Amino acid sequence: MSEPLPDEPVRVADHDLNDLVSTVNRLVIETQRQSETIARLSGEDDGEDAEEGPSEAEPTGTDGGPAEPEGPSSIFILALVGTAYEEELAALGAWVERLLLPVYGREITTGRPWCFEWREHPEAIARLHGLWLAWQQFTDVEAGLAGSATWHRDHLDPTWLQLRAPDGPFGACTTSPARPSHRLLPVPGAGAEVS
């Protein structure tokens, strides 16, 4: 049996609000997907035939084909577009700048570069977002007592080694705090002609 809710309001620390917003958004999207799946499965159970045309659970686009889903197909930041991407990047930035860097940033050296313009490095965004998603999962109460240790071992350490390696995405950026630098390296095949 669940405990009764307290009479006083729940207080959430400011630094946790972005994580909470992201979690709620993710849960809303997952709930929508589950509702669509349930509607689709219940339509199949009613004996509807695929040849009879689209069901209510499968809206059609303007061309008569299946409509694009309303929500994102993934919670991974590189799959998001527009406002959803910008909001997720802002929440990620708050986590990186308020928690990750102050706790795990360490000194910037030639062997451990960093870029203060990390938001312009797609690989860094992808890796940091994956790290943040794992942090949300493994610091949750449901992750158990070893959740944070698992996050450090399986997620933080390998991600940090890749990001801050001399040949990583920040390899051409700041290697000395006294000389901030930012340069995007060309991607393989950029400018190469395709035969």
Coil vs helix vs strand at 49: coil
CA distance 160 to 119: 16
**pLDDT tens readout for residues 135-159:** 999 999 999 999 999 999 999 999 9
Burial class (CB in 10 A: 0-12, 13-18, 19+), 188: exposed
| 7 token code pair | 């009479």
Annotated domain spans of the chain = 13-71, 74-184
pTM of this structure: 0.61
For residue 87, pLDDT over 50 is answered with yes
pLDDT of residue 55: 43
Give the position of tokens 């689709």. Answer: 40
The pair phi, psi for residue 192, each rounded to 5°, is -80, 140
User: Residues, the chain, total?
Assistant: 195
Q: Which residues are bridge partners to 66 per DSSP?
A: 60
